[in-house]
Chain A
């Protein structure tokens, strides 16, 4: 193991071999002493002056009094990168889906509602005492509903795009009136 530590000091250890060496260094104070010593030898040969005895021990005593650091962000960084890309794609797809759903429910749903509205007048929801006779209903409803729709077009479901649908309908009514 000491030979591996020596290679690790020189950055010449294969990445797959580093993990076990780090584990051994964590467990064995004798090996940590070797790590210190190998660095010291290199520093002395490069004429770096020595420190006061106990320098690193003092640092580690202070570190030991600190709250434990638990921040594994860096270790999951590559996973985060891939996850972030996948989430971005998923968010984009969901966004497009929402837009498509809104568009279909706004525009695509309209013909169905119109068809329902067209068939509705001949099928009253509930019988009432004031109900008009069946034969005269279409003639009465034609004029009454037209006026009703004109008066209440601002509240109609087709008014989602403000200013456009009401104008189209109004022009259409004016033409019908003009022909008459």
Chain B
């Protein structure tokens, strides 16, 4: 089952009135959308406002989404248009030298720029979450850590990871799940204080 199929199923549920299905899509793409919009708008608070607006616009436009393109491509297009409209309304122009389109949305490298843009609150949260994840990863058994890194960093499929680690696919699936659970347990105290649990 591909990424596009999962998104399409969630979109169809949202189109039938299931707002929580749309919430799952928000959770999945929020950070990537913000990362994309950070190339167009320098102020991080403005970036988040525009990203929120883009998600709401996407929700309103869901009836017109036919699945002809991937959901994230469609979402990113809405995000870029929202950002450009925002800049025009502020009397500013979208940067052309670093123009973004949905095709390159997944591939750009924006680390330095984002580090310049972060607010103290976001820097602190990013730092806490990053440190917690890294500490939890250090404590993982080698096979679990390798499995989740091959998946998350290298983007390998379970089948390829199974070949690389010379184990059954079911074992890969189990290792990645256990690794995520271990890291999530460490993150839980940090995330329970955030209001994101409400929806």
Contacts and interface: CB of A to CB of B under 8 A. Distances in A.
Given A22-B10, A44-B130, A69 B15 contact: yes
A66 B26 contact: no
A69 B153 contact: no
Contact of A41 (B9, B12, B27, B133): B133
Given A56-B199, A63-B55, A6 B173 contact: yes
A53 to B, nearest CB: 4
Contact of A77 (B24, B67, B180, B181): B67
A143 interface: no
B52 A15 contact: no
B30 A59 contact: yes
Q: Is the interface of A mostly helix, strand, loop or mixed?
A: helix
A26 B194 contact: no
Contacts of B180: 6, 9, 37-38, 41
Nearest to B19: A63
Nearest to B14: A69
B70 interface: no
Interface stretch (A27-35, A90-98, A163-171): A27-35
Given A11-B1, A45-B152, A45-B153, A71 B15 contact: yes
A10 B62 contact: no
A47 B11 CA distance: 27
B32 A48 contact: yes
A38 B62 CA distance: 25
A50 B125 contact: yes
Contacts of A133: none
22 contacts: A8-B6, A12-B157, A13-B1, A22-B10, A22-B21, A37-B180, A37-B187, A37-B188, A43-B31, A45-B133, A45-B137, A46-B153, A47-B111, A52-B121, A55-B34, A56-B199, A59-B23, A59-B55, A60-B198, A66-B60, A69-B62, A74-B66
Q: Which 7 A-B pairs have CB atoms at the shortest separation, nearest pair first?
A: A71-B63, A60-B199, A6-B177, A54-B195, A53-B194, A50-B126, A37-B184
